[in-house]
Amino acid sequence: MFGERLGHECPGYTRTALIRSAIPDVFRNTPASSAARTDVERVPFRDALKYGQLALNSRYLLSPLAGFTTLPFRRIVRRIGGVGLATTDLVNSRALTSRNERTMEMVETHPEDRPFAVQIFGSEPEVMADAAQLLVELGVDTIDINMGCPVNRIAGAGAGAGMMCNIDGTLKLVQTVVEAVSIPISVKMRLGWDSHNLSAPFFAREFEQVGVAAVAIHGRTREQGFGGTVSLPGIRAVVEAVENIPIIGNGDIRNVADAARMLKETGCHGISIGRAALANPWIFRQLVEWEQTGSYAPAGTFDERLQLMLQQYTCLEERHGSQRAIIRFRKMAHWYLKGMRILKRLRGDFQKVSTKEEMNAAIAEIQQSGPIDGNRTGVLTDVEIPVPSGPVDKW
Ligand SMILES: Cc1cc2nc3c(=O)[nH]c(=O)nc-3n(C[C@H](O)[C@H](O)[C@H](O)COP(=O)(O)O)c2cc1C
């Protein structure tokens, strides 16, 4: 049962995990084919998803992934289609109020990147409110408060998942932010601190009372990190705790079948997808196709993925010039290239490129070599996505 025991102590946390994420199962071991899939029964839907007055393009949202859900990636995923809302990586509210250069870059957007949310974290209500007001001036559509980050540096300072340990302070903080701005505020949190303290239903209900427009819920506790499984009953308890606001279910959605199960078993109004979007940026479009027609086209092929990767590089280059763009791009390219199932050696070579000429040469070799199984137009096998764990500085 999902109780609401609070007033607990928040223990320290470290763990390491490797989660196996996948290209949608239905594309595994199938011959090259562009045939639409009809293997997942449609779920009856309620109204379109709205955050307050803000109507979202679909009920499938890109979950923030620090270091990955940068503007170039958001633009690319949106070009494919189906994304209801995309959010920045978590942004430090204090750094935002002091207009730190790197932080201001994190909240940059583009006409392709709408509607657009910035996720902020912090533990000081006034600083969070000031940051929210600055974001309104910058034209952000909606703001998400991070209440789920498990990393010690953040949770230990009373922000992120640490907010679950301070009921009064958290309710005050969220209310202060809601009252400071007129755009919708959402909160993204976990089920609770640990299995004995499943406080998400309590918080969601309280947040609705102070005017929060939506709650996204990662169906794990802070103690779980990224281990174990996502609890669909846990998410359902949050859906049942609120009266009107939409609840967004999150965690381990890798394909249309996973999404259908989440929608059916939790009654959530929308879904946010993180890691699977790195393995399969087509997933949002597939979900919208499935919702509208009951069938959906396969994810991108080797050639399409290569095109996408180059488009993302171009977005980075436009902003930073080739030298900086190449260095920044290598991390993201790693995932594209993993998804394209190329030889490990070629992936390794790409990580060493530091000039445009070297990059072009590496891409030419990848293009010529193709995927390991030689299939440029169909099946792509599993991709392993290592998840950060414990105190990771990048978070
Ligand atoms: C590399 C990485 C970075 C993440 N960064 C953030 C973040 O900045 N803000 C946040 O709320 N959640 C963050 N998360 C959590 C994800 O948004 C999401 O809740 C979690 O990965 C479960 O969803 P998924 O299985 O669809 O990835 C991050 C997760 C990963 C793996």
DSSP characters for 336-362? HHHHTT--HHHHHHHTT--SHHHHHHH
Indicate the SS3 state at residue 371. Answer: coil
* CA-closest candidate to residue 90, choices 131, 49, 52: 131
Q: List strand residue ranges (DSSP E) for the chain, in order.
A: 17-21, 50-51, 54-55, 60-62, 85-92, 116-121, 142-147, 185-190, 214-218, 247-250, 270-273, 383-387
Tokens of 376: 């440029």
Nearest CA to ligand 1 atom 14: 65
- Where does residue 153 fall: left (phi above 0), alpha (psi -120 to 50 degrees), or beta otherwise? alpha
pTM (2 d.p.):
0.89
Indicate the SS3 state at residue 61. Answer: strand
Residue 304: how many CB atoms within 10 A of its CB? 17
Cβ of 84 less than 6 Å from ligand 1: no
Place of tokens 């290569």: 306
User: Is residue 346 scored above 90 in pLDDT?
Assistant: yes
Nearest CA to ligand 1 atom 6: 65
CA dihedral of 80, 280, 16, 224, whole degrees rounded to 10: 80
Spacing, Cα 356 to ligand 1 middle (Å): 31
Give the helix, strand, coil percentages of the chain, each rounded to 5: 40, 15, 45
Residues of the chain with CATH 3.20.20.70: 17-22+49-293
User: Which of 222, 224, 275 gets mutated to test ligand 1 (max ligand atoms within 8 A of its CB)?
Assistant: 275
Mean pLDDT confidence for 273-289? 93
Atom of ligand 1 nearest to the CA of 385: 31
When the pLDDT of each residue in the chain is averaged and rounded to a whole number, the result is: 87
Mean pLDDT confidence for 111-132? 97
pLDDT digits (tens, 9 = 90+) for 355-380: 999 999 999 999 999 988 777 776 56
- Partnered with residue 249 across adjacent β-strands are 217, 271
* Catalytic position from the list 149, 165, 268, 315: 149
pLDDT recorded at residue 176: 98
Cβ of 150 less than 6 Å from ligand 1: no
Place of tokens 């180059």: 310
Helix axes of 167-180 and 200-209: crossing angle, nearest 10 degrees:
40
In the residue annotation, 149 being an active-site residue is answered as yes
Please indicate whether residue 381 or residue 74 has the higher confidence score (pLDDT): 74
Q: Are 263 and 43 in contact (CB under 8 A)?
A: yes
Which CATH number is associated with domain 17-22+49-293?
3.20.20.70
